[in-house]
Copies of this chain bind each other. A is one copy, B any other.
Amino acid sequence: MSLVTVGSVAFDALETPFGKTDKIIGGAATYITLSASYFTEKNNLVAVVGDDFPQSMIDILESHGVDTQGLEIRKGEKTFFWSGKYHNDMNTRDTVEVQLNVMGDFDPKIPDAYQDCQYLMLGNTSPTVQRLVIERLHNRPKLIVLDTMNLWIEIANPDLMELLKLVDVLVVNDEEARQLTREYSLVRAAAKIREMGPNTVIIKKGEHGALLFQGDQIFFAPALPLEEVFDPTGAGDTFAGGFIGYLAQTDDSSFDNMKRAIIYGSAMASFCVEKFGAERIMNLTQEEIDARVREFIKLSAFGLV
């Protein structure tokens, strides 16, 4: 089924204990659409860049089947830029610099060809923009998944609370879940978030896996234990892309299928951290993904029935 993804397409400059990059391609929607491209063929992007954004990168997205009709290129303006530096534990990072540029007044355009969208992924950007995308779709998609971040919880809380009423699934990390609800227990945090609107809550715990909450059901997906995390940038977006890509491909949003979607999302995220930026998820084969999913099965099956 058709997927629409909105979010940032950006330049990132990264520094980790393993090295640093110049400006490379980043942004939530880049990671999400690349990751989803391994699952769904109708993969539509809504984003904005400046005319400094390289055509070669647009070509890479298109070669992955991403429809870029909804990628606005603003003449004479610059692409969103973020630079960050990871601490030695790779779990925490500092933002070194942010240049909003074209994201400062992002006005999302929905091409007519996207109007049949059944699955909508609201990648991390302001709640105002995320809401505009919902409003500009003529029909409500079957499933709306929302990602957000600490910044919006702090500076756009009322907008975010209104938006939460409109979505089916919220994907956040553990810190964001706690910040949003002021509950330390993730079980309680998920329950409070479900009172805010989303029927389903996914809490990402990085190297500790992810939790899926729906009704009184809980599912726990492990993360693959890795010798080395080279660069965690985009892992959460890659997870979300694999998750919604799998749901769009299978067109089944049951709890049981969401479990499988989370395993695929986790597998995609485990690739993402192996190289800088989106490099690894630009170059995956179906065989590699299937083999990685088999590792997850081995990792968590224990043969009690």
Give me the interface of A with B, judged by CB distance under 8 Å.
Answer: 88-89, 184-188, 205, 208-209, 211, 217-222, 225-229, 256, 259-260, 262-263, 293, 296-305
Contacts and interface: CB of A to CB of B under 8 A. Distances in A.
A227 B188 CA distance: 6
Contacts of A262: 302
A210 B218 CA distance: 18
A209 to B, nearest CB: 7
Given A208-B209, A209-B208, A220 B300 contact: yes
B226 A302 contact: no
Given A185-B226, A187-B225, A227-B185, A259 B220 contact: no
Contacts of A259: 301-303
Q: What secondary structure prevails in chain A residues at the interface with B?
A: mixed
A226 B188 CA distance: 9
Nearest to A91: B184
A220 B297 CA distance: 10
A27 B83 CA distance: 49
A293 B304 CA distance: 9
Among A256, A300, A305, max chain B CB count under 10 A is at A300
A134 B159 CA distance: 64
Contacts of A222: 209, 220, 222, 300
A263 B222 CA distance: 14
A293 B302 CA distance: 11
Contact of A220 (B211, B218, B293, B299): B299
B205 A303 contact: no
Contact of A304 (B88, B205, B260): B260
27 contacts: A185-B226, A185-B227, A186-B225, A187-B225, A187-B226, A188-B227, A205-B208, A208-B208, A208-B209, A209-B209, A209-B222, A217-B298, A218-B225, A218-B298, A219-B299, A219-B300, A220-B222, A220-B225, A220-B299, A221-B302, A259-B302, A259-B303, A260-B302, A262-B302, A263-B302, A293-B304, A297-B305
A259 B297 CA distance: 13
A187 B211 CA distance: 22
Contacts of A263: 302, 304
B256 A303 contact: yes
7 closest A-B pairs (Cβ-Cβ)?
Answer: A208-B208, A220-B222, A259-B302, A187-B227, A187-B225, A220-B299, A300-B300
Given A88-B184, A208-B205, A260-B304, A299 B226 contact: no
